[in-house]
Amino acid sequence: MQDTPAPSLFPLFLDLRGRRVLVVGGGDVAARKVTALLDAHAEVAVVTPALDASLAPLVRTQRIHHLDTTFAPHQLDDAWLVVAATDDPTVNRAVAEAAAARRLWVNVVDDAELASAHLPARVQRGPLQIAISSGGSAPMLARHLREQLEAQFDESLATLAQLFVGLRSRLRARLPNLSNRRAYFRRALDGRVQALLRRGDTPAAQTLLEAELEQHTGTPRGRVSLVGAGPGDPGLLTLRALRVLNEADVILHDRLVSTDVLALARRDAQRIEVGKRVGGNHDATQQRIHALMIEHARAGKHVVRLKGGDPFVFGRGGEELEALRAQSIDYDVVPGITAAVACAAHAGIPLTHRAHAQSLRILTAQAKAGDAEHDWAALAQPGQTRVFYMGVSGLVRLRERLLAHGLPATTPAALVENGSLPQQRVIAATLADLPELARDHAIQAPALMIIGEVAALSTRLHWFGSLPITPASARCRNDDLARAA
């Protein structure tokens, strides 16, 4: 039997105060749902001919209505939500179908397929709630996560949330501007308030929050954070980058920045792709980036200029800071893991090695006008590792140059495509045969070339993704193809 994939659910928090919810079933599972619904101040009606002992007092004290009968569709008439919690699958199905016919949301206990509404695992701290769902695919996993979160967030959050409720109208009056309020929260939540709450000193925490509010004035000053997003795997983002992404009002990102990384950013931050395209007018794009940064920062926004890898390694970060400086706009820089470092790690190629390489050169295969002009003779010297960015289209010319200046054709060379990403491919060859192997395997940007003795270590030290492609493995594949033909 083929398992159907888990549905992609839409999370939603319901205000059930005074609204009728029908619970069909009267056992202990139903009783648990009833308790949760009463906590949300719902008006609960329970349909069951056999009432659980724990529910009886609730009926007596009129906290719930008891319909002492079996389920019938008309009982749904004034309900907003239905929970089918009997141990009889036929009854649960009948409830689900009747609810669907009336376009009512129905939760069916222990039957994700029948349910149109799922009850999440949740962590609650006063008015603050975290709901977790696996769409019915792995409830144990959701529960496991819940336990972790329970441990991570202590009870002081409940008091904190209550304090903010008390401050809400004053906060809005004093700081009508949203980014201003956000800045206030950032300051107010820097840890001191929570430390006081953990000690149980709520009055001191409240005084501190209020004092911060009195001090916090003026329109916000916009600024720009130049942030390195690393090579694409969100695990390789720095903690600071993550924090800044969650503070951003506007995110100007390159095309190379992965969707997984963008998904970690503040949900309501405005995202603008400003990537340079192959063959596009790069200078015009760069001017547009400068203009956008300046425009949004002037409007008081916190702009995050998000770049693949590190912003100061072939990222034109310097030019962007110059443009900001000229306009007296505040900025900061968050470094990222550059492609050379990420690709080397994920291909099992140490960039330096006591036996093979005492220096490392980071180079571009492109330059302002056509091919990069490097000191080729120096690059042909032994004992170093050369890393070329942006080189896929110029591999043959790169080889020519290096050979012409005396680098042996047998020098190990590796090409890492989509380094650190699940689809990573590594070609491990020599300077002589790398370009043709790359062509045969249709290697495309983004890819990084590593030339030097260390490149040979990939075939032994690789640990991530598929095995490196070598001239020998390529020959085997060709032989197989020939035999199959």
Give the residues lining the site for ligand SAH (CB under 6 A): 231-232, 256, 307-310, 313-315, 338-339, 343, 389-390, 416, 418-421, 445-448
Q: Which is nearer to ligand SAH, 107 or 418 (CB)?
A: 418
Q: Which is nearer to ligand SAH, 104 or 398 (CB)?
A: 398
Q: Which is nearer to ligand SAH, 47 or 450 (CB)?
A: 450
Check 52, 233, 249, 254 and give the catalytic one: 254
Q: Which is nearer to ligand SAH, 209 or 450 (CB)?
A: 450
Q: Cα(45)–Cα(65) distance, rounded to whole angstroms?
A: 5
- The residue nearest ligand SAH at its CB is 309
Q: How far is the CB of 308 from ligand SAH (least distance, A)?
A: 5
* 223: three-class secondary structure by DSSP: strand
To the nearest 10°, report the CA torsion of 365, 371, 372, 377: 100
Burial class (CB in 10 A: 0-12, 13-18, 19+), 276: middle
* 280: three-class secondary structure by DSSP: coil
Q: How far is the CB of 312 from ligand SAH (least distance, A)?
A: 8
Q: Which is nearer to ligand SAH, 76 or 428 (CB)?
A: 428
- Residue holding tokens 């310097």? 318
What residue type is 292 in one-letter code? Answer: L
Q: Cα(331)–Cα(227) distance, rounded to whole angstroms?
A: 11
Q: Which is nearer to ligand SAH, 55 or 449 (CB)?
A: 449
Q: How far is the CB of 346 from ligand SAH (least distance, A)?
A: 9
Q: Are 12 and 129 in contact (CB under 8 A)?
A: no
Q: Which is nearer to ligand SAH, 420 or 458 (CB)?
A: 420
Residue 295 CB neighbour total at 10 angstroms: 13
Phi-psi region of 238 (alpha: psi -120 to 50; beta: other; left: phi over 0): beta
Q: Are 430 and 410 in contact (CB under 8 A)?
A: yes
Cβ-proximal residues to 147 (8 Å cutoff; 6+ apart), any chain:
none
HSE-CB for 303 with a 13 A CA cutoff: 28
Q: Are 391 and 398 in contact (CB under 8 A)?
A: yes
* 272: three-class secondary structure by DSSP: strand
Q: Which of 454, 275, 254 is closest to 354 using CA atoms?
A: 454
Q: Which is nearer to ligand SAH, 181 or 316 (CB)?
A: 316
Start-to-end Cα distance in the chain: 36
DSSP string, 365-428: SB-SSSB----HHHHTSSSEEEEEES-GGGHHHHHHHHHHTT--TTSEEEEEESTTSTT-EEEE
Instruction: State yes or no: is 254 an active-site residue.
Output: yes
Tell me which residues are annotated as active site.
254, 276
